[in-house]
Structure 1
Amino acid sequence: MVRVVIGGTFDPLHDGHKALLVKACELSRGGELVVGLTSDEMVKSKAHKVSDYRSRYDQVMQFIREQGIDPVIIKLDDPYGPTIHDDFDYLIASPETQPTAQDINRIRREKGMRPIRIVPVDYVLAEDGLPISATRISRGEIDEHGRIMKKCL
């Protein structure tokens, strides 16, 4: 049985997050999808306001279930979660999370564990050609779909 893992804050749940989650769903069909969702404690250092864990959990669960997958969502209190203890076949990573994915495999090698295959998913770009990000959305530059927000004069 294939095991896929992905981690993140996923708030607000934008098209970039959805691309990552869709890839995770595709790879996990017939297997297991484990989603590590950052705890409220972990998100305190974010530059923008983040919804509470329960709200983020509900949004991610609903989106993944709409893809026909029933995931296991676990709370992350550190950047690695179960990836440095449990075996997985695939680890989904954005360009932003790629360094953490590499760290995970380094730690796994040091522990004598086999590496997890990292599946990169490129940024989803906004209308202006820049990546969609929670920070840009929180600043009011773009919406969750990457549409440029109209500035009032």
Structure 2
Amino acid sequence: MISKAFEVADHVIIGVMKDNALEKLHKICRENIEPYERRVKKLLTYISELLNIYTKKTFKIVSISGPYDIVLEENNVDYIIVSDETLPRAVMINILRRQRKMKEIKVIIVPIVRDNQGRPISSHRFRIGEIQ
């Protein structure tokens, strides 16, 4: 999804969930989620590789405490990149933006990456040790 964001946007905003916000979620194997700083460091490594391809792009990483933080605070957001699984959240974001008299965001759906058995590759499956 991040690579798609760099493909379509000139400036990319990436929200990374704060550690204390993760504690409120009911994620399976939540204790296996790396600390915020480590997740950001890995993200920066990945982005540096993308910037070799998308040399004129800019980005900002922001800490978030929920799925709506940035998209309901900044009016100049043009796109949201989602999977089929997260599409309902993007629909809700646009409903909330309309209620706040903000412009709607164009929704871009990226196909879910699947393993050789057709199952979605997800952070959840990594956390439970199903994928190495």
TM-score by length of 1: 0.74
Aligned residues: 122
Q: CA RMSD in A?
A: 1.3
Partner letter of residue 14 of structure 2?
V
User: SS at 2:131's partner residue?
Assistant: coil
Task: Identify which of 15, 18, 23 aligns with 1:39.
Answer: 18
- Consecutive unaligned residues of structure 2, counting only runs of 5 or more, are 52-56
Task: Tell me by how many angstroms 1:70 deviates.
Answer: 4.3
**Does residue 81 of structure 1 match 2:69?**
yes
Provide Cα deviations, 1:29-51, integer angstroms capped at 9, x if missing partner: xx211001111122222212200
CA contact (8 A) 1:126 1:142 kept: no
Partner letter of residue 129 of structure 2?
G
**Does residue 56 of structure 1 match 2:44?**
no
State how far apart, in whole Å, the 2-side matches of 1:140 and 1:50 are: 12
State how far apart, in whole Å, the 1-side matches of 2:115 and 2:21 are: 27
- Consecutive unaligned residues of structure 1, counting only runs of 5 or more, are 1-19, 144-153
State how far apart, in whole Å, the 2-side matches of 1:105 and 1:80 are: 10
Partner letter of residue 37 of structure 1?
V
Aligned to 2:99: 110
User: SS at 1:67's partner residue?
Assistant: helix
State how far apart, in whole Å, the 2-side matches of 1:40 and 1:104 are: 23
Runs of 4+ in structure 1 off by over 4 angstroms are none
Alignment of 1:1-153 (within 5 A): 20-28=1-9, 31-44=10-23, 45=25, 46-48=27-29, 49-68=32-51, 69-86=57-74, 87-143=76-132
Partner letter of residue 21 of structure 1?
I
